[in-house]
Amino acid sequence: MMLIRYLSQIGKYFLMLKEIFNKQTKWPVMKSLILKEIDDLIIDSLGIVCFISFFIGGVVAIQTALNLTNPLIPKYLIGFATRQSVILEFAPTFISVIMAGKMGSYITSSIGTMRVTEQIDALEVMGVNSLNYLVFPKIIALLMYPFVIGISMFLGIFGGWMACAYGGFSTGADFIMGAQKDFIPFHITYAFIKTLIFAMLLATIPSFHGYYMKGGALEVGKASTISFVWTSVTIILLNYILTQLLLG
């Protein structure tokens, strides 16, 4: 019974994706909606992303340095390990899970509140495709999400360099040498492919839970929690699949 319910929800989600791209809202209206979503979802997320990235990069570098106890192991490995950790997993995946909480709860609660207060019904009565009006601007705004992840990568590696150079674990030159060693450009491509797919999930799964919720104000909070859980689970599952496909 539970399996049928999950399959029904997945089918409903894909039907929602199809409906988002039908009957487009007029461009002058859509442009202002997209700019608002860029401000709410991208610009407002930069502060928390920068803060977390800088300090997690530092922690990764310190943990690596503390575990390199053998004097025969070169110190530049600290920079190498920090770069690999930040670019391959931390920036695209860990930040996306955090954004599932920040962006996801905002999207679900804002659309859910519109559902509770019957604003979505009013849009439908006026002949507007409410899914296109509400969700499409979020998808377009989150096309800028790789820009956020690019900043996260830079600050993560920079935080590692600061921790090493000023914490006395190795010299700044050693860290930079490690960060440049055996660099594979495809790893950046892999990270941004993941990021774009995660951006689509961040825009649509919370929107789905907000749009189709039933009840009152209490259910808006419950829908936000459920959307965070399912967005995080989907991101982690897809991360595993994409890693196998692209790097396996």
pLDDT of residue 177: 87
pLDDT of residue 23: 82
Measure the CA–CA gap between 189 and 242, rounded to whole angstroms: 12
Do 135 and 211 touch, CB atoms closer than 8 A?
A: yes
pLDDT value for 153? 92
Output the pTM of the full model.
0.90
Around Cβ 213, how many Cβ atoms within 10 Å? Answer: 22
216: left (phi over 0), alpha (psi -120 to 50) or beta: beta
| Residue 234: per-residue pLDDT | 94
Instruction: List, run by run, the mean pLDDT of 10-residue segments along the chain (248 residues).
Output: 85 88 85 91 92 92 84 82 90 92 90 88 86 90 92 93 83 84 89 94 92 84 90 94 88
Please tell me the predicted confidence (pLDDT) of residue 22.
Answer: 84
Q: How far apart are the first and last CA of the chain?
A: 36
CB burial of 186-207 (b: ≥16 within 10 Å; e: otherwise) equals eeeebbbbbbebbbebbbbbbb
Half-sphere exposure (Cβ direction) of 16: Cα atoms closer than 13 Å: 23
- Backbone φ and ψ for 128, nearest 5 degrees, come out as -90, 140
